[in-house]
Amino acid sequence: MMEDDFYATIKLKSGEEIFAKVSPTTEEERILLIITNPIVMSEVKSRVGFVGYKLESWLKTTNEDMFIIDMENIITISESSDIEMIMIYQSYIRQSNKENNNESKISRRMGYLANVNDAKEILEKIYKSS
């Protein structure tokens, strides 16, 4: 029986560093990690010295949120007990789930809505009149 789920930073042999909720499991005498909602975090510095973090999904071309990684592909794993980091991660996951569920609807208050042909026609009239 393996340990309960935990949050961790994982350094892969490919050089990628990801943060995710981790569930260890064994299969045929191999240790596998089931990772949920893995993210990549990069440090962003402003001109005035302010440091922030940019969070992105680990894999951008899929809507899957669960992946299996063999321990053979991992250099190191570090369990995180940093409450602030876990809260940032959970907030990011909640926000991206809202975006994936299209909870923010397009409205007229966001700006003018048009199809391509209408927009082209309007822009051509503006160009010709100038």
Q: Name the residue ranges covered by the structural domains of the chain.
A: 6-129
6-13 mean pLDDT: 95
pLDDT of residue 1: 44
Radius of gyration (C-alpha) of the chain in whole angstroms: 22
Q: Residue 113 is encoded by which pair of tokens?
A: 């809505």
> What value does the mean pLDDT take over residues 80-103?
83
For the chain, strand residue ranges (E) read: 6-12, 17-27, 30-45, 51-57, 66-70, 74-79
Identify the CA nearest to 22 among candidates 37, 13, 33, 31. Answer: 33
Average pLDDT over residues 39-54: 86
Please name every residue paired with 19 in a beta bridge, in sequence order, or none if there are none: 9, 39
pLDDT at 71: 93
Report the Cα 21 to chain-centroid distance in Å.
13
Of 5-19, 36-50, 66-80, 104-118, the poorest mean pLDDT is in: 104-118
Q: Flag whether pLDDT at 116 surpasses 90.
A: no
**Separation CA 57–CA 93 (nearest Å):** 9
What is 6-129's CATH topology?
SH3 type barrels. (2.30.30)
pLDDT at 14 over 60: yes
DSSP 73: G
Range with the poorest average pLDDT among 9-18, 44-53, 56-65, 69-78: 44-53
Query: Which structure tokens are listed for 19?
Result: 């943060």
Determine the pLDDT at residue 17.
95
Lowest mean pLDDT among 59-63, 71-75, 101-105: 101-105
CB 8 within 8 Å of CB 74: no
Given a cut of 70, is residue 101 above it in pLDDT? no
User: What is the average per-residue pLDDT within 51-55?
Assistant: 85
